[in-house]
Structure 1
Amino acid sequence: MIINKEIKIAKFIRRPNRFQGFVELNGEEIMVHVPNTGRCREILTPGTEVILRKEDNPQRKTSFDLIAGYKGDKLINIDSQIPNKVVEEALKEGRIYALSKYKHVNREKTFGNSRFDFKLSISDIEIPEQEYYLEVKGVTYETDGLTKFPDAPTERGTKHLLELIEVKKSGRGAGVIFLIQMDNVEAFTPHDSMDKVFGDALRKAYNNGVDVFAYSCRVEHNLIRLDREVKVIL
């Protein structure tokens, strides 16, 4: 997807809390919104080059969102609102091969007491065997080509995985896709040292028939697009 808003390059200074950051833009220190509740500590380091997106909402306290940053020469998108948009675009274009038979793509649909990112279906007739529920997780943590999720403990993420098992038991399809918000990576694995409960839940989901996908992205200053499937190590 192309980001159709003004883009600026700045220098990161500090992040006093989850949602606020300070950057140097055109020689001036300004406050920006950080649209990611994860830690992103290996990306948001003092002096690193970051990408800002202009937001024209007069009700906001900040004029820019900090949407990406460089770790070395690797540009990593950190906007937590982006993964669902990228996956939706790819689903509608049939670029996630394993799910390309599902022609109907609906956002934020409920199964039982749970709300999932996507409900996919082959036809517009409600037939359980032709339905598929998909959850999306954005990945920003990387070390030597190996990407991991989560970068902070996530009870909500574990809950989603266990609920996907119930979807699968109902006769419907179920899956989770880890959208890696960077390119040039080798594999994905759960971040057990950060949240072993989540890792165990992911392995349990996989062993109960839930699909586990991981895709890297092509990332530029004003663009992010699903690129290629990468190896999942459980």
Structure 2
Amino acid sequence: MAGNLARVTFCLRKLAWERSLKISSGKGSKGIPVLELPADQEGVFLERPNRFLALVDGDGKTLAVHVHDPGRLPDVLIPGNRVLLKYRPGPKRKTAWDLLAGWAANHWVFAHSGYHRPLSEAILTKLGKDLFPGLKDYLPEPKINTSRLDYLFEMEKGPKVYVEIKGCTWAKGETALFPDAPTSRGQRHLSLLADLKRKGFRSLLWVLCFRKEASCFRPAQEIDPTFARLFEEAQAQGVELKISKLCYDGQKIYFQGEIPPCAG
């Protein structure tokens, strides 16, 4: 019985994915442009002294660059690899540069989690009613006890939807994977989404996948088995899943449709 239910669920998700591909068809090979974000400089990654700092060779000068993504970025931050930077000086900043993207699998992998909010809002503005049928309005950063999620969707009918966003920057072959480092924060968010579902709300994990080559997504059990277990439990309890594939060309971020969870 459980196996039949899993197959039905996978087929329904695949149909939703195929529908999303129709949304992006006819808009050019890159997809639908959703956010303009031009890089200011290309450089060569040298090393990552700590979680939030990278050293990059920019035209012969060593630049201190802020890394906003807390993950390991294992196939992006490789010494000698090409990276894209954004110039963001400020009186309260320790560095004048942000890491935007790195080169992997023959394309730029966007890797700045600080842009998840403006990017997701741009997607909602341009494609919200297509991606989320019945969407009426949305509230950023709803507070639940001592925690916050990314959005609360108000729907035209039915219960409201609590939404948490995760950015996926890692892939093996055509399989997109999250996380690329253990994430206690991600674990808490999954538990919260499952708890909200049990209380009668709808809840949704929205994955922004920045791997152009990916054809499906799965939790990285080999990196964070607890997150993977909570992910499967949340899915079994009815937490919804949306995986949007996006690509970055150094100037704009494009929506390329949806990909399904990996079968099996």
TM-score (norm 1): 0.91
* Pairwise CA distance, 1:96: 6.6
Question: Please, which of 197, 210, 214 is the counterpart of residue 168 of structure 1?
Answer: 197
1:17 paired residue number: 50
Q: Does the alignment pair 1:34 with 2:63?
A: no
1:3 paired residue number: 37
| Partners of 2:246 and 2:65 in 1: CA distance | 25
Note if contact 2:173-2:213 (Cα within 8 Å) is conserved in structure 1.
no
Note if contact 1:14-1:23 (Cα within 8 Å) is conserved in structure 2.
yes
Q: Runs in 1 of length 4+ with deviation above 4 angstroms?
A: none
2:91 paired residue number: 58
Deviating more after overlay: 113-122 vs 145-154:
113-122
Structure number with higher relative contact order (C-alpha < 8 Å, ≥ 6 residues apart): 2
In the alignment of these two chains, the number of paired residues is: 229
1:144 paired residue number: 173
C-alpha distance after superposition, 1:72-116 (max 9, x if no partner): 412101101122322222123234735231121111002344311
1:210 paired residue number: 239
C-alpha distance after superposition, 1:19-43 (max 9, x if no partner): 1111111111121111111111211
Deviating more after overlay: 71-80 vs 147-156:
71-80
| Partners of 1:19 and 1:209 in 2: CA distance | 35
C-alpha distance after superposition, 1:166-204 (max 9, x if no partner): 211222211101111232311100000001110110111
* Pairwise CA distance, 1:158: 1.1
Question: Please, which of 133, 150, 157 is the counterpart of residue 100 of structure 1?
Answer: 133
Counterparts of 1:56-205 in structure 2 under 5 Å? 56-95=89-128, 97-122=130-155, 129-205=158-234
Paired letter, 1:201: L
C-alpha distance after superposition, 1:32-84 (max 9, x if no partner): 11111111121111111100001031332211101100014121011011223
Structure 2 stretches of 5 or more lacking a match? Answer: 1-34
Structure 1 stretches of 5 or more lacking a match? Answer: none
Change over 3 Å in CA distance of 1:58–1:114 after alignment to 2: closer
C-alpha distance after superposition, 1:123-176 (max 9, x if no partner): 6xxx9x331100000011111111100011111111111111121122221110
Larger fraction in helix? 2
Change over 3 Å in CA distance of 1:98–1:206 after alignment to 2: farther
2:23 paired residue number: none
Paired letter, 2:197: K
| Partners of 1:211 and 1:28 in 2: CA distance | 47
| Partners of 1:231 and 1:105 in 2: CA distance | 24
Deviating more after overlay: 218-227 vs 23-32:
218-227
Larger fraction in strand? 1
Deviating more after overlay: 224-233 vs 21-30:
224-233
